[in-house]
Amino acid sequence: MKAAVVRAFGEPLVIEERPDPEPGPGQVRVRVEASGLCHTDIHAAHGDWPVKPTPPFVPGHEGVGLVEKLGEGVTHLSAGQRVAVPWLGRACGRCEHCLSGWETLCEQQVNTGFGCDGGYAEKMLAWADFAQPVPEGVTAFEAAPLACAGVTSYKALKVADVKPAQLVAISGVGGLGHLALQYAKIAGATVAAIDVTDDKLQLATELGADIVIDARKQDAGKELKEHGGAHAAIALAVNPAAFEAVNSGLRRGGKLVMVALPAHGTIQVPIFDTVLNGTSVIGSIVGTRQDLAEVFQLHAAGRTKVIYETRPLASVNESIDAVLRGEIKARVVFDLGAGR
Ligand SMILES: [Zn+2]
Ligand SMILES: [Zn+2]
């Protein structure tokens, strides 16, 4: 089977021929159909963050495909079943976080495409308990972006505790933002979408944004304040200045939910305004298995639209460059060609 491998940080990925991986106890082997390109994969491949994977490794945490082989002890999945293999490859199931519904904070977690090989491959392994069944009516190409971009933005809105009639700012209308916008609308909120490219501002309008802010020409914080200030701002743009801009646009009691992970990111949080206005700054990382099940359920019910373009895995390096240049409207999904 073919896999796109990071051999050294910052170097182009290499397409390698590898033997099919053998599932161990509790694992399954998945024949990958579709695999999304998330910005996190690029940070992993570049070794951008304080925590780094160990090369050689296969990135990708939006792999979706068909279960091909069951490891020992796996009884709840069957061969041929479609599953998604998300960032949360496994968690311990026993710690304070796992037991309190916050498995995404488990310190023993293994992350797909980071701590173990991921979905940029024709075949991959998954821990069966964390491989999420994809419901009927959701294609592999739609399920792939939902497995990270979808669940991460959905969880951010839960963390923000968005309610109907609230104003929610979505900063960055890309792979995550285009879905965050739709979840905010489902929650009943008025949505202000902020971006810096015509394409993405246009996409925001098409997806039903009530207010569209062009951060090249407009001060996002000031614009939000003119609408009374945001109850919640979801920071999805990989630019620390964009975090500060929306933080300044919160109304009293508002919440800044940080989701994007710039390689080197620090923001200034004004103490006086934060105290006086009672605002919060919260980090939110991916979502639980239950969150992902809900994301798939909403999509199967026809309530969300996934914008993506398909490309062959062989284009992995050009695709990464295109994402870094901001040329991709929402999501690149690699077509692994399984089942054809
Ligand atoms: Zn991701
Ligand atoms: Zn745990």
Phi, psi of 67 (to 5 degrees): -65, 130
pLDDT (tens digit, 9 = 90+) per residue, 183-203? 999 999 999 999 999 999 999
Query: How many alpha carbons lie under 13 Å from residue 102 in its C-beta half-sphere?
Result: 11
List of long-range contacts for 239-242, beta carbons under 8 Å, 24+ apart = 240/265, 240/266, 240/267, 242/171, 242/172, 242/194, 242/215
Q: Show the DSSP H helices in the chain as ranges.
A: 39-46, 96-99, 140-145, 151-159, 177-186, 198-206, 220-226, 240-247, 271-277, 289-300, 316-324
Q: What integer is the mean pLDDT of 65-81? A: 98
Ligand 1 centre distance from Cα of residue 61 (Å)? 6
Both structure tokens of 39: 């910005």
Residue 42 CB coordination number (10 Å): 18
**Which domains are present in the chain?**
2-133+307-335 (3.90.180.10), 150-283 (3.40.50.720)
Ligand 2 centre distance from Cα of residue 95 (Å)? 4
Instruction: State the pTM of this model.
Output: 0.96
Residues with CB under 5 A from ligand 2 (ion): 91-92, 95, 98, 106
When pLDDT is cut at 50, 70 and 90, the band that residue 338 belongs to is low
Ligand 2 centre distance from Cα of residue 91 (Å)? 5
Ligand 1 centre distance from Cα of residue 285 (Å)? 9
Ligand 1 centre distance from Cα of residue 271 (Å)? 31
Ligand 1 centre distance from Cα of residue 40 (Å)? 5
Q: Do residues 239 and 218 lie in contact, with contact meaning Cβ atoms separated by under 8 Å? A: no
pLDDT (tens digit, 9 = 90+) per residue, 110-128? 999 999 999 999 999 999 9
The helix/strand/coil state of 110 is strand
The ligand that comes nearest to the alpha carbon of residue 42 is: 1
The ligand that comes nearest to the alpha carbon of residue 101 is: 2
Average pLDDT, whole number, for the chain? 96
The ligand that comes nearest to the alpha carbon of residue 260 is: 1
**What letter does residue 107 receive in the DSSP assignment?**
T
Ligand 2 centre distance from Cα of residue 289 (Å)? 13
